[in-house]
């Protein structure tokens, strides 16, 4: 009796629903996106340029402009007005952030300096101070010619950057020739 009832219920259901058609097969899930292409040649060129730059610190070149411990760092792009540079040189523009490279080796100092400048730029800072020391702290801070390694690294790296308007060794009250005040270009505004 139960079988007749189930058959009647099934027949009743089919008549109420009407004709049916099978559902289409499920579409396959989307494939994982392909990785973005990388500029491997540019990455290799960048790494090679960094290595060349690092090794250039120890290469002895006559008249290369290497700085001694007491020499002042100084650089100004032409578009920066001279009165603004004079204010920087006198220490009248206050540093908004500071990086101390004491105790860092050359590779670490370079990485710290690049990250610090990138962060300062991203946060819209106008002036920063970098303490590099005078190179009188021992053999770790001078090269084979007795020149201050970190000071020359900072000088070279700052001169290469397009976002640096000017820099000058700090006045004696702010670190003297063991520190440098850096004036950054304002960030570009996106339209």
Q: For the segment 147-160, what is each residue's pLDDT rounded down to a tens digit? A: 788 888 899 899 98
Burial annotation 171-191 (CB, 10 A radius, 16+ → b, else e): eeebbebbbbbbbbbeeeeee
Q: Which domain holds residue 117?
A: 69-184
CATH number at residue 104: 3.30.1370.110
Res. 169: pLDDT tops 60: yes
Q: What is the mean pLDDT of the chain?
A: 81
Q: What is the Cα 67 distance to its own chain's centre?
A: 25
Res. 63: pLDDT tops 50: no
Residue 172 within any structural domain of the chain: yes
Residue 15 within any structural domain of the chain: no
**Radius of gyration (C-alpha) of the chain in whole angstroms:** 33
Confidence of residue 135 (pLDDT cuts 50, 70, 90): low
Res. 190: pLDDT tops 50: no
Residue 20 within any structural domain of the chain: no
Total structural domains in the chain? 1
Residue 140 within any structural domain of the chain: yes
Q: Please write the tens of the pLDDT for every residue from 68-112.
A: 777 888 999 999 999 999 999 999 999 999 999 988 888 898 999
Residue 9 within any structural domain of the chain: no
pLDDT value at residue 81: 93
Q: Is the pTM of this model over 0.75?
A: no
Residue 73 within any structural domain of the chain: yes
Of the listed ranges 80-94, 137-151, 153-167, 168-182, the one predicted with least confidence: 137-151
């Amino acid at each position: 009796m139960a079988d007749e009832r189930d058959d009647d219920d099934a027949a009743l259901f089919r008549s109420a629903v009407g004709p049916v058609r099978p559902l289409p097969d499920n579409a396959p899930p989307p494939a994982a996106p392909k990785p973005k292409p990388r500029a491997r040649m540019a990455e290799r060129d960048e790494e090679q340029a960094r290595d060349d730059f690092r090794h250039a610190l120890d290469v002895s070149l006559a008249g290369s402009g290497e700085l001694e411990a007491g020499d002042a760092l100084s650089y100004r792009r032409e578009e920066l007005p001279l009165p603004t540079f004079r204010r920087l040189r006198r220490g009248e523009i206050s540093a908004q952030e500071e990086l101390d490279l004491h105790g860092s080796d050359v590779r670490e100092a370079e990485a710290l300096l690049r990250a610090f400048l990138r962060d300062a730029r991203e946060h819209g800072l106008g002036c920063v101070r970098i303490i590099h020391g005078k190179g009188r702290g021992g053999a770790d801070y001078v090269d084979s010619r007795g020149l201050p390694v970190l000071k020359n690294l900072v000088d070279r790296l700052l001169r290469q950057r397009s976002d640096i308007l000017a820099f000058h060794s700090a006045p004696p009250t702010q670190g003297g020739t063991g520190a440098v005040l850096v004036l950054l270009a304002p960030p570009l505004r996106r339209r």
